[in-house]
Amino acid sequence: MIESKVKKILIAKYFIIRDFPLDNYKHYLSDKYIKFYNDEIDSLSEQIYSKALTLMVDNNAIPLRYDYGKIAMLNLVNNLPKYMDNIWSTYFMYDNYSIKDTALLRQNLNKYDYVFVNLFVSSMHTMNGRDNETIKWLEGISKKHYLILNVIGQPFILAKFNDVEDFLAITTTYDIDSIAVDLLAKKLIGFSSFSGHLPIKINEIFYKGMGETSEMLSDVIRFTKPPIGNIEEVDDIMQQALIDSIFPGAVILTIKDNEILYYKTFGTTSYDSSKTKVNRYTIYDLASLTKPLATTLAIMKLYENNKIDLQASISKYLPELRSSSIGKIKIDRIMTHTAGLPPFINFYELFSQDKYPDLYSKTSKADYHQVADSIYVSKSIKDSVINYLKNNIIPNPNSGMVYSDLGFILLKFVVENITKMSFDQYLYNTFYQPLGIKRLCFLPLEKFDKNEIAPSEYDSTFRKQLLCGYVHDGNAALLGGISGHAGLFGNAESIAIILQMLLNGGEYGGEAYLKPETIQKFTSTYFDKNRRALGFDKPVINDSDSPACHQASPSSYGHYGFTGTMFWVDPEYKLIYIFLSNRVYPTAKNTKISENSIRTRVQEAIYNYILY
């Protein structure tokens, strides 16, 4: 009873303050008092709105988790308040559509993962030009797309809605106020929780007392606007790299303490006349980042489920390698590149079309997979590769650490034999899909348009065409684009989610994906006199040949990719660094990225920024 009366007093106080603004009485008051008074008003307003904001419909979507994907933001109002874009752009990155752009949005709907609709209602009687046709259109969109409807203002317009069961979420703020909208954005992504209830009955669908609660998320990346626009040293390095044609473009994403510290895109995806600007959605060929972000993840999960023994010979899981020299190598030796294997073998040359024309086709066939435009290869090539390794490779146990793709090619088949499912499907089911990752996959052309993917090299030896969406690595291509050493494509944000999960000790969004002790085992130096961990690279402390800058802590780990990619995770500083580029465009002979140490220099500049 008392709580109800106090709430009424506070609400009345708020509306008095709002309707009789302090500006009218400024000449009576000191600036100090005015600031104090305004701060008190804002604090009170925030408390009231936080309790009031209501989540009326929630199809297990709120809080929005992880990779939001591409968002279209439609504002149904004639005169958009200036604060709206400032607020939403702090928490989301999106394409803006006004009430005049609805026809354009209709054309572009399939480009987006989410559609946010902000429906502005200033009173019971002011519908700001909306009509039943628009509402029917929104109801139709909700059937095929993830649509979140935010009623900015009074919720009475919801009486016009008849079919809302497929809306991802429906919220209301009860007022057109910047504080309310800011709180709404925070609640949608789990910075705070929804707890409000409808105070009145609108219709049979929206009844008095209606309101869902939501949880707060503390262990996810907060994909908000970075607190800093520039790190001057990083910007200088990257601008010079573009001038020197080290790569046509790149993306740098740095996360500290679960929040974006620095996030910037540079340049374009190519040098040609139709060049496309790099953006946060740009998908890159990740090359050997496949090893840690796919193969190693799978092995980690199998290890903690007691499905694989790291000290076992690989022939235990690939019986066809029994009685062969390569069949005796251990799983942990493969993952630390100490198995005595040669760095690589060009299988696409050994099994070329000139030598084996029946393995190739210019048109699609059953049991053939596509490796480039108008080039298909028989799936039986897998057996040819395994047989070649079985009969021709004799590991050298005294070779020390020799970085090799060959063992990781075999590990993909190990994962498939153990799990009884395809490599990519196991990763999707176990990690990528439950983590909400939308832009990390093999065979990206099955999901994305070419214009969303950065091209790699003009392949003058094997496929004789510019590669875009087909894996750059020839051996991975020969194996259908899905391999344990290469083949993964992705954007920076998708990679960041996996790395944050590892940094969190295996948890993300309140769900556990790996055990902390598993992560510790796989990301620590494994053998004496070899810096490498299981599937990850490690720094060499006080050594100029370290793969990381000298500020990286001994506990840090990461990996490089041939196409111009890199990530590095530092648990000591709770820091994630991701660098993506297509330096192999248009030719892999361009090695300036390594000659100029671009990736480690940028990494060093970021450490300098946070440490000094």
Distance between CA atoms of 245 and 251, rounded to whole angstroms?
Answer: 15
Lowest mean pLDDT among 37-51, 77-91, 594-608: 37-51
Question: Mean pLDDT over residues 195-224, rounded?
Answer: 90
Sign of CA dihedral 445, 449, 452, 458: positive
Checking if the pLDDT of 19 tops 90, the result is no
> What percentage of the chain has pLDDT greater than the value 70?
91
The tokens for 193 are 């929780």
pLDDT in tens, 61-112: 999 876 677 899 999 988 888 888 878 887 887 899 998 998 999 999 998 9
Least confident range of 218-232, 340-354, 549-563, 589-603: 218-232
Distances in Å between the Cα of 482 and the Cα atoms of 62, 353, 386, 410 are 34, 20, 15, 12
Residue 206 token pair: 């929206």
**Sole residue written with tokens 């899905």:** 482
Question: Which pLDDT score, from 0 to 100, does residue 37 have?
Answer: 44
CB 259 within 8 A of CB 222: yes
pLDDT at 130: 53
pLDDT band at 36 (very low <50, low <70, confident <90, very high): very low
Task: Choose among 424, 412, 358: nearest CA to 382.
Answer: 412
Q: Could you tell me which CATH number the domain at 234-611 has?
A: 3.40.710.10
- Which pLDDT score, from 0 to 100, does residue 81 have? 86
Domain ranges of the chain: 1-52, 53-217, 234-611
Assess whether pLDDT exceeds 90 at residue 119: yes
Q: Is the pLDDT of residue 33 over 50?
A: no
Q: Quick one: DSSP state of residue 428? A: I
User: What is the reported pLDDT for 41?
Assistant: 60
Q: Per mean pLDDT, which range of 30-39, 132-141, 382-391 is the poorest?
A: 30-39
Q: Which of 7-16, 117-126, 352-361, 576-585 has the lowest mean pLDDT?
A: 7-16
53-217: which CATH number, 3.30.559.30, 3.40.630.30, 3.40.50.1700, 3.40.50.300? 3.40.50.1700
Residue 127 has a CB neighbour count (10 Å cut-off) of 17
Mean per-residue pLDDT over the chain, rounded: 90
| Percentage of residues in the chain having pLDDT higher than 90 | 74
CB atoms within 10 A of CB 4: 7
Give the residue with greater pLDDT, 21 vs 508.
Answer: 508
420-468 pLDDT, tens digit per residue, is 999 999 999 999 989 888 899 999 999 999 999 999 999 999 999 999 9
Work out whether the CA dihedral 87, 88, 89, 90 comes out positive or negative. positive
Average pLDDT of the residues in 137-144: 93
Is 125's pLDDT higher than 50? no
Sequence-separated (6 or more) residues with CB below 8 Å from residue 13: 44
pLDDT mean over 465-485: 98
